Amino acid sequence: MPVHCADSLVLRTFAYGEADRIVVFLTADRGKKRGVAKNASRSRRRFGAALEPLTRGRATYVEREGRELVRLDRVEPSGTPLQGIASVPVEEAARRLGHALYFAELLDEWAPNDAPNERLYRLGAAAARALEAAEGSVETLARYVEIWILRLEGVYPSIERCARCSAVFGGPVRLSRIDRGYVCRQCRPDGPVISREAMELLRLLPARSPDEAVRIGSPAAALRELEMAHRILMAEHLDKPLRSARVIRELGSSL
Ligand SMILES: [Zn+2]
């Protein structure tokens, strides 16, 4: 049976039988895998904190012929979202862990099973690193990750021209659900407005690294507009809303 060892990101885990856990993880070289981690629920000795969502690490796993589930033997973590949170206020810690879950869920939704997607892996790993350091705005990082996931899928709409009449944008625009894109205000009298500041951020963010993105001071209102626009765009493409996005919103309103 072939043994594989790869840089990986843990996406999520769930209980499997009495003592085992199923671990969904994204490998750098062979796409998304599901593996059984023996005894991971009963004993934390083997895996420790290495199975937290968005943990980066080296995973050793064995593929078994004719079986969809691999056997996950080991994850040697090189970084987890848990590191560094002991030294920040509890609200900030909750925000980071909430976003770790959110990024992991986004990657899980968009990564195909067993098909390599190196760029998606690199985005996830870089976002995880930026979140661990998180010196700045986790919300800006979240908008960055959303933009890039949609771009890598080839579905991020044009920020230069109206999706309906092709006019070049010169100011605030609207998001049109039917067009799955941004349109000029002449083309749509209603729908969420995306301000000039938010459009500016859309032009600025993709050219940066996640580390730089997290340090960009973005206006809170612009971030909220983009959060809503991206939620609509992603739901249109995934045909469902994401669980952890709602958790973050609830967290935000209770802080
Ligand atoms: Zn138009």
Which residue carries 């970084």 as its tokens? 79
- Is the pLDDT score of 50 beyond 90? no
Percentage of the chain lying above the pLDDT 90 cut: 65
Centroid of ligand 1 to alpha carbon of 82 (angstroms): 46
Per-residue pLDDT at 246 = 67
Neighbours of ion ligand 1 (CB under 5 A): 162, 164-165, 167, 184, 187
pLDDT band, residue 81 (cuts 50/70/90): confident
Centroid of ligand 1 to alpha carbon of 24 (angstroms): 42
Could you tell me the end-to-end alpha-carbon distance of the chain, in angstroms, rounded to an integer? 50
Q: How far is CA 129 from CA 36, 101, 124, 213, 255, in A?
A: 26, 14, 9, 12, 25
Per-residue pLDDT at 31 = 93
What average pLDDT does the segment 70-94 reach?
89
pTM metric for this prediction: 0.91
Per-residue pLDDT at 251 = 62
Centroid of ligand 1 to alpha carbon of 174 (angstroms): 10
Per-residue pLDDT at 217 = 80
Centroid of ligand 1 to alpha carbon of 165 (angstroms): 4
- Is the pLDDT score of 96 beyond 80? yes
Q: For the chain, what is the mean pLDDT? A: 90
Q: How do 31-37 and 70-79 pair as beta strands?
A: parallel
What average pLDDT does the segment 175-199 reach?
93
- Is the pLDDT score of 255 beyond 50? no
Per-residue pLDDT at 1 = 77
Per-residue pLDDT at 104 = 96
Task: Give the separation between CA 243 and CA 221, rounded to whole angstroms.
Answer: 23
Per-residue pLDDT at 159 = 96
Centroid of ligand 1 to alpha carbon of 220 (angstroms): 27
Structure letter (DSSP) for residue 206: G
Which residue carries 């859309």 as its tokens? 202
